């Protein structure tokens, strides 16, 4: 297949950051995706209705002219979350979901929840409201190996939580293990999972290929090859419980390449081209629309996008992306260490997106 047109995709897990970084990276998401669940782990985090409204307004103000993009805001849960504020924010449409970060699990999670039991009253409110809970599925106990944190989270936290609150709608975010895939597939309608493009491409060896590669370091960390293959099978299956969350997470190169480098992979410019390549390799292009454009909207009870994107397979590998410039630094863009042949065109906005960035082109000329 040389070309495929699908409904415009959504990104159900996205880090936009704030300030100069947000203004630099936002155009790459807004050019392709209709909506995105925006993560709240800023400094300080988005822990009130007012801060969410202010953050949303900053995002909308930074949108380039002509881009139609809807940021969906999330509430950063803490041990001291205000029940009334959360409920009012959800009922008024400020929040699409609330995010559970185990304290210390990832970037800017220090204010996160120290114990899930501490927020059971909040989770009970969310269950009554039908408000989705988004979980960073890792335990942070020092006695648990970093490669086992997700599997242990299922046993210690997620499964007991679902038994205690069976009607709570939960998204198991950026799953990275065969155990997580099996758990989601064995459970009911109230549980979904996002999968990132980079976890479909890299395994833990990728961080050490030819030397230490900090731009392949993310949390949850990439796992063994058998886990990557399990993720690919789930993503390309059209199972409605799995949907795209890029977990695109920009950091300046100096912060990635320091003696204590940050976790996060910035993949917004390459996410859809990478996915087309993956689904092509798996002979599953017919399932791409379900994963990127349908399943997430179904879970959140939202309509699918009316407009479309067209993915076209080039005769030669497309160029690797240039870094995104910010002030006196740059943000490296995720580029798989393998040929990629797919370019992405947003039909209604006449914008072509490829691994070299954004260029203008007529939608009818591809």
Mark 107-144 as b/e (b = at least 16 C-beta within 10 Å).
bbbebbbeebeebeebbebbbebebbbbbbbbbbeeeb
Q: How many Cβ atoms are within 10 Å of 79's Cβ, its own excluded?
A: 13
Q: Return d(Cα 251, Cα 217) in angstroms, integer.
A: 11
Instruction: Output the pTM of the full model.
Output: 0.94
* Average model confidence (pLDDT) across the chain: 92
Which residues touch 349 (CB under 8 Å, ≥6 apart)?
A: 31, 66, 67, 68
Q: Which residue among 10, 11, 239, 247 is the active-site one?
A: 247
DSSP for 244-286?
E---B----HHHHSSTTPPP-B--TTTHHHHHHHHHHHTT-GG
Q: State the pairing for strand pair 95-100/70-76.
A: parallel
Task: Give the tokens for residue 5.
Answer: 């047109």
Quick check: is 347 catalytic? Answer: no
pLDDT in tens, 147-183: 999 999 999 999 999 999 999 999 999 999 999 999 9
Q: Where do the domains of the chain lie, and which CATH numbers do they carry?
A: 8-307 (3.20.20.140)
CB-based contact 204:222 (threshold 8 Å): yes
pLDDT of residue 213: 94
Task: Give yes or no for residue 362 having a pLDDT over 80.
Answer: no
Confidence of residue 353 (pLDDT cuts 50, 70, 90): very low
pLDDT in tens, 260-296: 999 999 999 999 999 999 999 999 999 999 999 999 9
Considering only residues 225 and 112, tell me which one the structure prediction assigns the higher pLDDT. 225
């Amino acid at each position: 297949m040389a070309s495929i047109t699908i409904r415009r995709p959504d990104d159900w897990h996205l880090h936009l950051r704030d300030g100069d970084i947000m203004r630099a990276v936002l155009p790459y998401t807004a050019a392709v995706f209709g909506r995105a669940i925006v993560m709240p782990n800023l400094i300080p985090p988005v822990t009130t209705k007012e801060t969410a409204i202010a953050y949303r307004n900053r995002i909308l103000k930074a949108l380039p002219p002509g881009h139609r993009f809807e940021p969906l805001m999330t509430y950063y849960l803490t041990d001291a979350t205000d029940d009334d504020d959360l409920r009012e924010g959800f009922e008024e449409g400020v929040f699409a979901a609330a995010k559970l970060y185990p304290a210390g699990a990832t970037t800017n999670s220090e204010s996160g929840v120290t114990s899930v039991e501490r927020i059971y009253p909040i989770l009970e409110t969310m269950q009554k409201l039908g408000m989705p809970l988004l979980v960073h599925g890792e335990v942070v106990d020092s006695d648990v190996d970093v490669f086992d944190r997700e599997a242990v989270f299922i046993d210690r936290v997620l499964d007991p939580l679902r038994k205690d609150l069976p009607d709570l709608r939960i998204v198991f975010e950026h799953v990275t293990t065969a155990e997580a895939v099996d758990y989601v597939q064995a459970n009911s309608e109230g549980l979904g999972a996002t999968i990132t493009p980079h976890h479909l491409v890299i395994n833990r060896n990728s961080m050490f290929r030819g030397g230490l590669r900090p731009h392949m370091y993310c949390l949850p960390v990439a796992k063994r090859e058998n886990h990557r293959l399990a993720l690919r099978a789930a993503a390309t299956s059209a199972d409605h419980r799995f949907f795209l969350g890029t977990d695109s997470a920009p950091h300046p190169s100096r912060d990635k390449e320091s003696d204590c480098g940050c976790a996060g992979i910035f993949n917004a410019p390459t996410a859809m081209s990478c996915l087309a390549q993956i689904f092509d390799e798996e002979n599953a292009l017919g399932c791409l629309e379900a994963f990127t454009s349908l399943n997430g909207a179904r879970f959140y009870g939202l309509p699918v996008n009316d407009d479309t994107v067209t993915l076209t397979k080039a005769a030669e590998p497309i160029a690797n992306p240039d870094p995104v410039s910010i002030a006196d630094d740059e943000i490296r863009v995720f580029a798989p260490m393998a040929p990629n042949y797919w370019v992405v065109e947003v039909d209604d906005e006449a914008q072509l997106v490829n691994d070299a960035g954004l260029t203008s082109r007529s939608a009818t000329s591809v």
